[in-house]
Amino acid sequence: PPIDLAAMFLHGDKLFGAYIVVALGGGLCVFLAWKFIKVVTGKPLYAALTASILGLSASHLVFGSLIETYIFLAAGLLLFFLLLLEKSPVSTLVLASLPVVGITYSNFAQNTLAFFTTKPSLKAVFRFVASTLVMLVLLGLLNNLLFPGAHPLFFIPSSLLAEEQNI
């Protein structure tokens, strides 16, 4: 949908719509990095300089230019860490974790470890992980209702066989 929205302003050109959405994802990463560092240090100029280093790094320029989902993963992780730093409620942290798990399952471990670091309670971590997984299952079921056959359910082990090519 974001690509279709951008394509509306580009006379239906979805390729350039994708380029714009990916570039906006890269810009969002730089902004979130600036905000995170500003909250930690309280120095906006230092935060701007450090976020500029992120924005000018080769990896960020590549992933912010190619049509790939990793820039959105970086934005999701930065958003989660910023919300964690600002002591957001667990429900907000769960919502921020959904895109991270939706892009790459293994990166949810970073969210879980960061959550445990700030709230070192196994009960709280279990509730966080369980809430995120329940929301993922519900969203997966909703996706399959709206788009039958578009993608198998992620929690069925046989659907993970497609990931074997990435090993």
Inform me whether the pLDDT recorded for 84 exceeds 90.
yes
* More confident position, 125 or 163: 125
On average, the pLDDT of the chain sits at: 87
* More confident position, 58 or 32: 32
- Report residue 164's pLDDT band, with 50, 70 and 90 as the boundaries: low
Contact 64, 22 (CB under 8 A): yes
CA distance 18 to 68: 9
Contact 4, 14 (CB under 8 A): yes
pLDDT in tens, 132-146: 999 988 988 888 888
pTM of the model: 0.82
- Report residue 45's pLDDT band, with 50, 70 and 90 as the boundaries: very high
pLDDT for residue 124: 93
Inform me whether the pLDDT recorded for 167 exceeds 60.
no
pLDDT in tens, 97-126: 988 887 777 788 889 999 999 988 999 999
Question: Tokens standing for 35?
Answer: 């905000």
Hey, what long-range contacts does 128-132 have (CB within 8 A, 24 or more apart)? 128/90, 128/93, 128/94, 128/97, 131/90, 131/91, 131/94, 132/94, 132/97, 132/98, 132/101, 132/108
